[in-house]
Structure 1
Amino acid sequence: MAEITAALVKQLRDETSLPMMDCKKALTEAGGDIEAAKRKLREDGVKTMAARSDRATEEGRIGVYASVDKKVGAIVELQCESAPVSTNEDFVKLANDLALQLATGPGAKTADELWAQPSPSRKGMTLKDQKDELENKIREVFRLARLHRVDAPAGGFVHMAKIGVLVEVEGGNDQLAKDVALHVAAMNPKAATKDSLDPKLVAQEQEIQKERARQEGKPEAIIEKMIEGRMRNFYAENVLEEQPFVRDESQTVGALAKSGGMKVKKFVRWTLGESAATAS
């Protein structure tokens, strides 16, 4: 059995970021074998976190990876327990790795499927290994609450880690697609195009405008033409293509996209902790 020296304990502490006493205990149980001690610490950490699995995870961040050229995009919601952890460098990396692997790997329908896949940044480790190691250091529960992938050219944007957008496009480039995703994050349109807007919402608004025109004393013969004009404002408020671009209100998002040879097809906009909103 190798001697459990202070230097050996410190080495294990430096490599795992775990408490000195935990490192000394693991080394003792592993007979001084540092790699075996690391495995012991990981196993103990998994057991500890499993016992805490019912804890609330109300903080976290949205991770996005998107590429027009590679024709892929993915968005994930990784939750944790506290706000400070959501900005931890390794936690940010884990969220980004999840999005990258989901987009560029074989895909996944469930969180367990994705966790089992290789980590893009940690050679020889799965994403679950990466998660378990970080959970063991921080001692907070992480939860992959949502994941979504598109197999098409895409742009992405994340605002303050809490709002994430994935935009499916045709043509264009990464920067233009990202600009459109930024606009979706800021303005929260209900649909990408007029054709994809919920017909019930359109019909409801048309009736509202017709009744308003009648109350104004407008003749029925001209109300239909009036409604067509008034609906433009409704579309400008709710439809992505019709909205004035947030960075240059002199042009619509549709015009911006067209000028760059791009067409917006659909988008996904998530807010941390809320149900997904998808427009097509």
Structure 2
Amino acid sequence: MAEITASMVKELRERTDAPMMDCKKALTEAEGDMARAEEILRVRFGNKASKAAGRVAAEGIIAVSINSDGKSGAIVEVNSETDFCAKNADFLTFTNNVADAIAKHNPADVAALAGLAIDGGTVEDVRTQLVGKIGENISVRRFVSGAAKGKLVSYVHGGKIGVLVDVVGGDDNLGKDIAMHIAAAKPKSLDASGIGAELIEAERRVAIEKAKEAGKPEAMLDKIADGTVQKFLKEVTLLSQPFVKDDKQTIEQLLKSQNASVASFTMYVVGEGIEKVVTDFAAEVAAAAKV
């Protein structure tokens, strides 16, 4: 039996908002498997327990650069330790210059990006200088770049959510509407083919366990799970989502009405998937007082 530590219970509590004792019971039942324990709590408490998936933990900013032809561009996330740094003018200039360099040169990865020239030096040189000047760790976390099948359109909300979408056909207003919809509705993929089998299977397991707890007959479990999965896919795939400005039509219907399509999209949320270290200031002060 895996040892269930207080820190494990605390982490699951922070991920799910479930009561402490329920977190401990779930971890015990899951033999210490955090992902499985989260599933168990979802069965008991509903989707509230999956909030960690979209939690923004780290600081930084998203920047987008689209070349003048609208056919190529880039989206990048640059991280900092604090939001104060993310608002610094030098940090913002660095991030925008990095986005421009990616859009222009289309590097293969972050390592290749580090050697590109910006602002009188390489990306890595300028980053290192900025770290020394501001006094915070700064890193280029991820980016996507390349050529579009149609026209690239972007939307950045407060520097924290960024979207780059390749729209084929339609007009500028349609492209803007699609980009803003993606930022608001946060689809996981264009259609069902982009949703991983592991994620779908997790939804099935949760649906089956909830149905069992509700006393549903064994013969109905697969049908209930199928219905739950189909509902889930409609909620998380762009083409199936109701348009945020007119929920009487889906994004797919909106695109068809203007003889347009979406070839691909990228959405970044600052710090998505990064766990932030939370400092207990009161505990630090108390510890310091004992020294």
Per-residue CA distance 1:63-87 (angstroms, 9 max, x = gap): 2224694322322111112211101
**Counterpart contact for 1:68–1:155, Cα < 8 Å:** no
Label 1:205 to 1:135 Cα distance change in 2 as closer, same or farther (>3 A): closer
**Counterpart contact for 2:203–2:228, Cα < 8 Å:** no
**Counterpart contact for 2:73–2:103, Cα < 8 Å:** yes
For normalisation by structure 1, the TM-score amounts to 0.59
Tell me how far apart the structure 2 counterparts of residues 67 and 179 of structure 1 sit (CA, whole Å).
20
Aligned-partner SS, 1:109: coil
Aligned-partner SS, 2:142: strand
| Residue of structure 2 in register with 1:145 after alignment | 141
| Residue 238 of structure 1: how far off its partner (Å) | 2.0
**Which has the higher relative contact order, 1 or 2, with Cα contacts under 8 A spaced 6 or more apart?**
2
Aligned-partner SS, 2:131: helix
Tell me how far apart the structure 2 counterparts of residues 160 and 147 of structure 1 sit (CA, whole Å).
18
Tell me how far apart the structure 2 counterparts of residues 227 and 130 of structure 1 sit (CA, whole Å).
52
Per-residue CA distance 1:179-210 (angstroms, 9 max, x = gap): 3222222212232123434466668878959x
Larger deviation, residues 93-102 vs 133-142: 133-142
1:108 aligns with 2:107: yes
The amino acid of 2:183's aligned partner reads: A
Label 1:172 to 1:158 Cα distance change in 2 as closer, same or farther (>3 A): same
Aligned-partner SS, 2:192: coil
1:252 aligns with 2:246: no
Q: Which has the larger radius of gyration?
A: 1
Unaligned runs of 5+ in 2: 1-56, 275-291
1:64 aligns with 2:64: yes
| Residue 108 of structure 1: how far off its partner (Å) | 1.5
Aligned-partner SS, 2:194: coil
| Residue of structure 1 in register with 2:14 after alignment | none
**Counterpart contact for 1:168–1:264, Cα < 8 Å:** yes
Unaligned runs of 5+ in 1: 1-56
Tell me how far apart the structure 1 counterparts of residues 194 and 76 of structure 2 sit (CA, whole Å).
24
1:134 aligns with 2:130: yes
Tell me how far apart the structure 1 counterparts of residues 237 and 174 of structure 2 sit (CA, whole Å).
18
Tell me how far apart the structure 2 counterparts of residues 134 and 93 of structure 1 sit (CA, whole Å).
11
CA RMSD of aligned residues (A): 3.9
- Identity percentage over the alignment? 33
Tell me how far apart the structure 1 counterparts of residues 107 and 236 of structure 2 sit (CA, whole Å).
32
1:243 aligns with 2:257: no
| Residue of structure 2 in register with 1:93 after alignment | 93
Larger helix fraction of residues = 2
**Counterpart contact for 1:167–1:267, Cα < 8 Å:** yes
Per-residue CA distance 1:100-146 (angstroms, 9 max, x = gap): 211122x2123342232232xx4x44434443443343232211111
The amino acid of 1:249's aligned partner reads: D
In the alignment of these two chains, the number of paired residues is 213
**Counterpart contact for 1:69–1:173, Cα < 8 Å:** no
**Counterpart contact for 1:68–1:173, Cα < 8 Å:** no
